[in-house]
C-alpha cells in the first residue's frame, strides 16, 4: 500500500436546517455547483460520480446513480453506487481516479423536503419483519450496544455527558450549524434532557436535518492548478461486519469495530494516532465518541469518558473533536450526513472553518458509521 496521489480540491455545502422547503435533487445540485465553483472547475470536466438517486423521476434499476446523467445532461465514465457517500464514497472515488477510471469524481448527497415535521425520520425506522414489530429504530439499536458498556463499566455520567456538551457547544458557536445559538450546554443539561432510548437522552443523540454537501476528488497533479489548497487523502479503510439494523447487534462483537480499519488507515498514511491534530468522528450518539477513542487505543476499554474529560475534546483540548458541532449540533442529513465529516475536515485543514478554527492542523482523522450499524470506516486527510 502506498500513499495515494489523490486530493480533495473542492467542497460545497448548502444551508443546513431542520426542514428545507425544496427537493433533494435541487439541494444536491446546489451543493454540486458550490463544489465546482470552489474547485474552479466546470461540470464538463467531471467524469466520475458517486451519489444516491433520490427521485422523483428516473428508474428504480441499479446503478441508480446513472439517473443523475439526466439532471447534468452528460455521460460519466465512472459511477459509484455501492455506498455513494462519506468515507466509502471518498475511497471509491480515490480508487477510481488512481486506476484511471475517471479523472475527476464528485461525491454528494443530502435531503430536502422530506422530513417535514416528522418526529422520526423514515430512514431511522427500517421495515424489516423482525425489527419493526418491536418498535425498534436506529437510536434504540445503538442504545442496546451502549447499555452493556454502561452497566459493565459504570462510566461517570457527568463526564460522559461532557462529551455531548463540548460538541454541542462548538455547534452553538458555528453560524452554519442547525443548532447555532442554542446553548451553551452543561453536562447536567445533557442528563436532564428527556430520555429517548436509555441510556441515551435527547441531547446525546444526533440530529435529523436537511441540507446537502459535495466534494470533488482528483489527482494531486490536477489539484496543483486548482485555486484552493489541495487536501490529500493519505489512507483509508472500511469494515463491513454485518448488514445493519436486522439481527441483534451485540456489544461484545462490535465494541472494537474499526480497529482493523484504523490500523490499515494509519499504515497506509505512514502516520500514527499521535500525529492526528483533528478528529472528525461519527457522533451518532455521545458514547460512540468514547468507543472510537477506546478502539483507537488511546485509552483502555471502559476508561474513554474519563480520558476525554481529562484531556479535552474542545478546540483547545488535546483531541479537538467534531469542531463544527458534529452530527449532534451541526447537521445530519440522512444519507448525506457522512459527507459532513469530510467537509469539516477539509475546511479545518484549509483554515476555513465556519465555526471554531483549530490552529494550523495538518492531519485529520475522519470516520463514518458505528457499532450499532455494524460497519465502520476511516480516512486520514492531510495538508501535506
Partner 1 sequence: MTPDNPAMLTTKFWDEAKNKKLVRPVCGTCNTSFFSPQILCPWCQSGNWEFKESTGKGSIYSYTIVHRPPDDDYPNPYVIIDVELEEGWRMYSRLIDCSPSEVKIGQAVRVSFQIFKEKMLPFFKVGEE
Binding site for partner 1 (CB under 8 A): 119-120, 125, 129-131, 133-137, 140, 143-145, 147-148, 151, 194-199, 246-248, 250-251
CA angle 27, 30, 33 (to 5 degrees): 155
Q: Could you count the other beta carbons within 10 Å of the beta carbon of residue 152? A: 13
Give 102 or 136: the residue with its C-beta nearer to partner 1.
136
CB 142 within 8 A of CB 204: no
CA angle 258, 264, 268 (to 5 degrees): 140
Q: d(Cα 168, Cα 329) in Å, to the nearest integer?
A: 5
Give 22 or 147: the residue with its C-beta nearer to partner 1.
147
94-122: burial string, b at 16+ Cβ within 10 Å, e else: bbbbeeebbbbbbbbbbbbbbbeeeeebe
Q: d(Cα 250, Cα 241) in Å, to the nearest integer?
A: 12
Q: d(Cα 203, Cα 185) in Å, to the nearest integer?
A: 10
Give 131 or 223: the residue with its C-beta nearer to partner 1.
131
Minimum distance from residue 252 beta carbon to partner 1 (Å)? 9
Minimum distance from residue 67 beta carbon to partner 1 (Å)? 27
Give 10 or 372: the residue with its C-beta nearer to partner 1.
372
Cell numbers given for 309? 474529560
Is the bond preceding residue 21 a cis peptide, omega within 30 degrees? Answer: no
SS (H, E, C) 328-366: HHCCCCHHHHHHHHHHHHHHHHHCCCCCCCCCCCCEEEE
Maximum separation of any 2 CA atoms in the chain, in Å: 56
Residue with cell string 439532471: 71
Cell numbers given for 261? 480499519
Q: What are phi and psi of 188, to 5 degrees?
A: -65, -35
Amino acid at each position: 500500500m502506498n500513499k495515494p496521489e489523490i486530493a480533495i480540491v473542492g467542497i460545497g455545502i448548502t444551508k443546513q436546517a431542520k426542514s428545507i422547503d425544496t427537493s433533494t435533487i435541487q439541494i444536491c445540485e446546489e451543493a454540486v455547483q458550490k463544489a465546482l465553483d470552489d474547485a474552479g472547475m466546470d461540470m464538463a470536466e467531471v467524469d466520475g460520480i458517486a451519489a444516491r438517486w433520490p427521485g422523483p423521476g428516473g428508474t428504480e434499476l441499479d446503478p441508480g446513480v446513472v439517473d443523475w446523467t439526466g439532471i447534468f445532461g452528460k455521460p460519466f465514465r465512472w459511477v459509484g453506487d455501492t455506498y455513494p457517500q462519506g468515507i466509502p464514497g471518498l475511497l471509491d472515488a480515490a480508487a477510481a481516479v488512481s486506476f484511471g477510471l475517471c479523472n475527476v469524481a464528485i461525491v454528494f448527497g443530502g435531503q430536502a423536503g422530506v422530513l417535514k415535521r416528522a418526529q422520526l425520520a423514515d430512514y431511522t425506522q427500517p421495515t424489516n419483519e423482525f425489527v419493526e414489530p418491536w418498535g425498534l429504530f436506529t437510536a434504540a439499536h445503538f442504545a442496546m450496544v451502549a447499555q452493556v458498556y454502561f452497566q459493565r463499566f459504570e462510566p461517570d455520567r457527568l463526564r460522559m455527558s461532557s462529551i455531548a456538551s463540548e460538541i454541542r457547544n462548538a455547534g452553538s458557536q458555528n453560524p452554519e450549524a442547525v443548532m447555532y445559538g442554542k446553548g451553551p450546554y452543561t453536562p447536567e443539561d445533557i442528563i436532564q434532557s428527556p430520555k429517548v432510548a436509555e441510556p441515551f437522552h435527547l441531547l446525546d443523540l444526533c440530529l435529523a436535518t436537511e441540507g446537502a454537501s459535495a466534494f470533488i476528488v482528483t489527482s494531486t497533479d490536477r489539484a496543483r492548478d486548482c485555486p484552493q489548497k489541495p487536501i490529500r487523502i493519505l489512507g483509508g479503510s472500511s469494515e463491513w461486519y454485518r448488514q445493519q439494523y436486522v439481527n441483534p447487534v451485540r456489544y461484545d462483537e462490535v465494541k472494537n469495530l474499526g480497529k482493523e480499519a484504523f490500523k490499515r488507515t494509519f499504515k497506509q498514511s505512514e502516520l500514527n494516532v499521535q500525529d492526528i491534530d483533528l478528529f472528525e468522528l461519527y457522533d451518532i450518539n455521545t458514547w460512540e465518541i468514547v468507543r472510537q477513542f477506546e478502539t483507537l487505543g488511546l485509552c483502555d476499554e471502559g476508561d474513554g469518558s474519563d480520558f476525554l474529560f481529562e484531556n479535552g475534546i474542545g478546540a483547545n483540548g488535546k483531541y479537538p473533536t467534531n469542531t463544527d458541532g458534529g452530527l449532534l449540533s451541526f447537521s445530519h442529513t440522512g444519507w448525506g450526513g457522512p459527507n459532513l465529516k469530510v467537509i469539516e475536515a477539509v475546511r479545518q485543514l484549509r483554515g476555513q472553518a465556519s465555526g471554531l478554527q483549530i490552529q494550523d492542523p495538518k492531519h485529520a482523522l475522519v470516520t463514518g458509521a458505528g457499532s450499532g450499524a455494524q460497519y465502520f470506516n476511516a480516512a486520514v486527510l492531510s495538508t501535506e
